[in-house]
Structure 1
Amino acid sequence: MPPPNPAALDFLLTRRSRPAKTLTAPVPTREDLLPILTAALRSPDHGKLEPWRLIVLERAALMRLAELVGERGKALGRTPEEIDKQRLQYADGGLAVAVIASPVDSPKVPHIEQILSAGAVCLSLVNAALASGWGANWLSGWASHDRVFMANGLGLAEHEMVAGLIHIGTETTPPPDRPRPDLDTKVDWVTQ
């Protein structure tokens, strides 16, 4: 058996995302962010296809996207409440990293595995930010699934999609723990 890493396991057993609305300045600098991004991209990647990319959204970019949310929400017939909730996700943010699923054609690796790899990047990014002492939260929402928003706001190609928006900042209020899944209801042991 390889030597255990109790500190890493303890971190994973106690990790807790921080609600984006509780994150504030300061946010990581580019220098602070580089090891976090490097760790995130060490995610599982069958075939070494790198079917994802990252877009770091600083404050001005988030404000521009908040404005676009308002425009798109009206065009899509969203309620004022839906628009405002989604708009504030961008307007209240100081820094976010958009994880973009960018699958490539591969005879060996199905697109679904590539999409799941982008999801793994999202979780790794959250965990790397938390391990670095920052607060972090993985969000999405209706705007990030709208093709016009993706193309006009983030410059995504037709085959790309937002896997997640990872908000990173300074934690203002530690969140209470929440109920966790009951292993007895979620795990089956197959012995034969």
Structure 2
Amino acid sequence: MSSKEFFLINNRLKDSDHNAFLEIYDTYAKALYHFVKKFIYDSAAIDDLVHDAFLNLWNARERIKPNYPIQNYLYKIARNLVYKRLKEQMRFLEIQGELAYIEEKRIVQYSVEETFIDAEYKGIYKSAVEQLPNQRRRIFQMSRQEGLSHKEIAERLGISINTVKEHMSLAMRSIQEYIAREHNILLKLLIVYLLS
């Protein structure tokens, strides 16, 4: 465009001439798209930025200088929008990194706590089993640790199945009472759950 054409189109745009705006759009939209594409790779985001650049030009039309090339306004607006978008993306990536770090730290902390609690539960459970009378403890361990059925335990120990069942019932009750007496009721519920 010649300087006279700049002057005319700038003045028309400044006077809110929609046709002047459309002429500017038709003339510069494609070039502006390629300019933004150098920095932003998402086509939808490029379209949004180009649209925003023209919208900002329209909103700032009253401040346009008559002899200042209109494409210079557009490129300056687009450059600022690209800078803002890239800054937002960087901040988003920083936030994602911070969140990932916090989550990783939480998982590690939870794992340490879980290991500690698990060890504590096992210790309580072990103490509860150890306080059982010898024969009852042996039957209980054969059932829970070795996975033997009542029949298999009865055969190995040369006792009746009913005796095995009675020892198991008494062992369960004794363990529950030990936990209730010696430890927190919540732990009791958790251990009972583990035993069942």
- TM-score, normalisation: structure 2: 0.27
Task: Provide TM-score, normalisation by structure 1.
Answer: 0.28
Q: Which has the larger Rg?
A: 2
Q: Which protein is richer in strand relative to its size?
A: 1
Query: Higher helix fraction: Structure 1 or Structure 2?
Result: 2
